[in-house]
Structure 1
Amino acid sequence: MRFRINRSSSTPAYAAPEEPAPAPAEQTLEPEAVEAPLSAHETALVRASVAVVEPMAAEITVYFYAILFARYPEVRPMFPPGMDAQRGRLLRALLRIVDLVDDPENLVRFCGHLGRDHRKFGALAAHFPAVGECLLDSLARYAGPAWTPDIAAAWTKAYGAVADVMISAAEQDEAVRPAMWAATVVHRVPRGHGIAEITVRPHIPYAYAAGQYVSVETPWWPKQWRYYSPANAPREDGTLTFHVRAVAGGAVSNALVHRAAVGDVVHLGPPMGDMVLDAAVHNDLLFVAGGTGLAPIRALVEEIARRGGRHQVDLFLGARTGAELYGVDDMLRMAQRHHWLALRGAVSHEYVPGIRGSLPEVLTEYGPWYQHDVYLSGPVPMVVSASEALTLHGTLPEHIHHDPFDTPVLSVP
């Protein structure tokens, strides 16, 4: 398997920044003559071994981190004190990699994304052999007699390919930007229902595209990162506004909503995600948002306005009750300013004036939408059901854009 990495020979862009970069910030790997890292037989072996150990997945991740920290204690400070969320992310990453092992282009994309994102944890190329050793030892322990030399060889080959892509992506990324950005809280507005708008100003320019999402670390919970979408298109003053809902048991969300104050400093990881305006094929767009999923949709609306309103946009906001119909007043004001934006709100569990029903039901009623690019944001069940309803009525899957809820970079149910 061969990959081409476009490396920059110039001085790193973050050394002496003057202006933010103009376009989507995430660097991408460009595959050249991409071939599957494993043969069909090797792929079958890897997937068969996963089927054997999957019922013991929780135990495997506990064992993996236990032996990793015991054998290589120097890596322990890279992780948070509480490891439950981290173990879940590892498991989802492994399952996704196995799922993509015979899809080399998407495997490169996914692993490159992981490599860039892991820079904020302090991951170095020297760490990858240790992780591979402990991962394969963990799989072998729980696979038992099913772990054959051929399966071990296939896993070794697969892990080597993944590590190579992650390391190359991280090296490329290091040449052009920092691993994380310090940002000062400059504004905080409570919005009720456990939601706060938090505006931060990065200490150095932070380039991102409307619709992307960002990992945030607070000073009260070091090494714990949670992902939020900026609710604004890039601004001249460089600030970003996040809509954060305090989640039960959520350390980071509760800290941001109930504890953060003007002057506090948080850290931002690199921007991620492809739910950006330039991904659209059609001029007619359908935006669908549930709850604080409105944030990236609002940013996209701002971006369209910045570009002169060259798209026609139908926006549906959904909630269980009228009181939970978050951000509708703000979007109504935007619809009054922009003739190309049509707004509808839908409530599923309460009789109120207007549209009643779940978002998938309402989309079906007001469709079809097969001549639109669709952007979905909100709770995972809503995104899944809305996507299924749209494809059932003719919208092509490649024209439906949403954050990758099947990857470890999002905190999802």
Structure 2
Amino acid sequence: MDAAALKESWAYVAKNGDDVPLFFYSHLFLSHPDVRSMFPISMSGQRDKLVAALGAVVSNVDRFDTVAPLLGQLGNDHRRFRATPDQYNAVGASLLATLQHFLGEQWTDELAADWAAAYGVIAKTMVQGAEEAAKTAPSWWDADVVSVERRTLDVAVIQIRPQQPLPYEPGQSVAVEAPQRERLWRYYSPANAPREDGTLDLHVQIVDGGQVSSAMVKELTVGDTVRMSAPIGTALTMDDPSRDLLLIAGGTGLAPFKAVVEQVDRLWRATGKGPKVHLFHGARMPWNLYDDEAMRAYAELPWFSYDTVVSDDASYRGLRGNVAEVAAAQGGWAGYRVMVCGSGAMVEGSLTDLVAAGFSPDDIRYEDFGTSGSPPSADTGRTE
């Protein structure tokens, strides 16, 4: 395969913006109408996911080892949609038709062969990832809604109990499908370390135009059953228990960090040692600090420090401003691992602010599921 030709042709096609996924899905659904039922009624979000996934794979086609794990996870992720090998073939045919359409005379026999070969490797890796995952885990987990607690105008804490054990690491995320919004999956981070009774707490914030977040906060009731995917993500997990942590959360981006704090608390209690943790939770208004009481209780522990930062209330008597800027200004973070979780805009702005303040990008971690079949949800402090 000519990696340079693949990248160059994809860059040319991608310039057509939304017309590319629109043509692709139109071709796919017209040629294989049976595939349509796998997708949500509204395709506006799905179009972005296709472009993000293809862009990530093609841009790394000459470094396949770096994208192979992503593709395996992507295949595992698509098990919840009951994707079959025949449907992978259908997707491949529509992809090639889309490339031919937008490349026109640039679509040569050589380029067509390279794209066909590249997609064959991609599809094979995804199918093998799904097959390997199927040996040890179901395609999805059913979970019963135990409680729905409205914390603020737009935030609810929803407790669910999977009907089968769901192993996960604090800081990971799971995709969730609510019965009120079938085939729409959004990522949420459990806000607790694993419990003996298996229950998970999800922090859900209503997002403007967010079909899933609105349904979960307003319509989900005790006794409903949601579906959950296998947990994914490692960026916000504690990989080195000897390294101190600086956690910077915006809104419901607090969820994975609360789980990590619980994990660290268990480590200290079991061994008498562990990392120091400083958590900054940013919100626009004081009443958006929806879990303040619980986090202040942890702040009684000697290894944990907690600060709240409010950006839009000039009368607030605590720390005010941009949460990442405020955290950086406190200083004393040499040797700390920095983790950031919030809306897409919050994470992007925080990375810029932290690097400008002198933090090394290698010391900053954040999660990005933009290529994993469904983007992270703003209900977890990201984008729906």
The question of a shared fold, defined as TM-score above 0.5 by the shorter chain, is answered with yes
Deviations 1:75-126 (CA, angstroms, capped at 9, x unpaired): 2221122212111111111111122223323211211111110000011223
Q: Secondary structure of 2:85's match? A: coil
Q: AA paired with 1:310?
A: G
Q: Which residue of 1 aligns with 2:109?
A: 149
Q: AA paired with 1:257?
A: V
Structure 1 position 313 matched with structure 2 position 273: no
The 8 Å contact of residues 155 and 290 in structure 2, kept in 1 or not, is answered as no
Q: Which residue of 1 aligns with 2:160?
A: 200
Shift of 1:392: 4.0
Q: Which residue of 2 aligns with 1:58?
A: 18
Paired with 1:311 and 1:381, the residues of 2 have a C-alpha distance of 29
Shift of 1:163: 1.1
Aligned-residue CA RMSD (Å): 1.8
Q: AA paired with 2:302?
A: H
The 8 Å contact of residues 152 and 287 in structure 2, kept in 1 or not, is answered as no
Q: Which moved more, 1:160-169 or 1:379-388?
A: 379-388
Q: Normalising by the residue count of structure 1, what TM-score does the alignment of the two structures yield?
A: 0.86
Counterpart among 256, 273, 276 of residue 233 in structure 2 = 273
Counterpart among 183, 192, 199 of residue 232 in structure 1 = 192
Paired with 1:187 and 1:174, the residues of 2 have a C-alpha distance of 30
Counterpart among 299, 305, 325 of residue 289 in structure 2 = 325
Q: Secondary structure of 1:261's match? A: coil
Q: Secondary structure of 2:91's match? A: helix
Counterpart among 325, 328, 350 of residue 386 in structure 1 = 350
Q: Which residue of 2 aligns with 1:299?
A: 259
The 8 Å contact of residues 285 and 312 in structure 2, kept in 1 or not, is answered as yes
Paired with 1:164 and 1:193, the residues of 2 have a C-alpha distance of 46
Q: Secondary structure of 1:198's match? A: strand
Structure 1 position 168 matched with structure 2 position 128: yes
Q: Which residue of 2 aligns with 1:347?
A: 310
Paired with 1:375 and 1:404, the residues of 2 have a C-alpha distance of 12
Paired with 1:215 and 1:170, the residues of 2 have a C-alpha distance of 16
Paired with 1:151 and 1:381, the residues of 2 have a C-alpha distance of 37
Gap runs ≥5 in structure 2: 377-382
Counterpart among 77, 95, 101 of residue 61 in structure 2 = 101
Work out the percentage of aligned pairs sharing the same amino acid: 39
Q: Which residue of 2 aligns with 1:410?
A: 375
Counterpart among 241, 251, 269 of residue 201 in structure 2 = 241
Paired with 2:128 and 2:181, the residues of 1 have a C-alpha distance of 30
Paired with 2:135 and 2:369, the residues of 1 have a C-alpha distance of 29
Q: Secondary structure of 1:118's match? A: helix
Q: Secondary structure of 1:100's match? A: coil
Q: Which residue of 2 aligns with 1:115?
A: 75
Q: Normalising by the residue count of structure 2, what TM-score does the alignment of the two structures yield?
A: 0.92
The 8 Å contact of residues 248 and 324 in structure 2, kept in 1 or not, is answered as no
Shift of 1:368: 5.0
Paired with 1:149 and 1:281, the residues of 2 have a C-alpha distance of 54
Shift of 1:296: 0.5
Q: Secondary structure of 1:192's match? A: coil
The 8 Å contact of residues 321 and 348 in structure 1, kept in 2 or not, is answered as yes
Q: Secondary structure of 2:16's match? A: helix
Deviations 1:148-176 (CA, angstroms, capped at 9, x unpaired): 22222221222122112111110000010
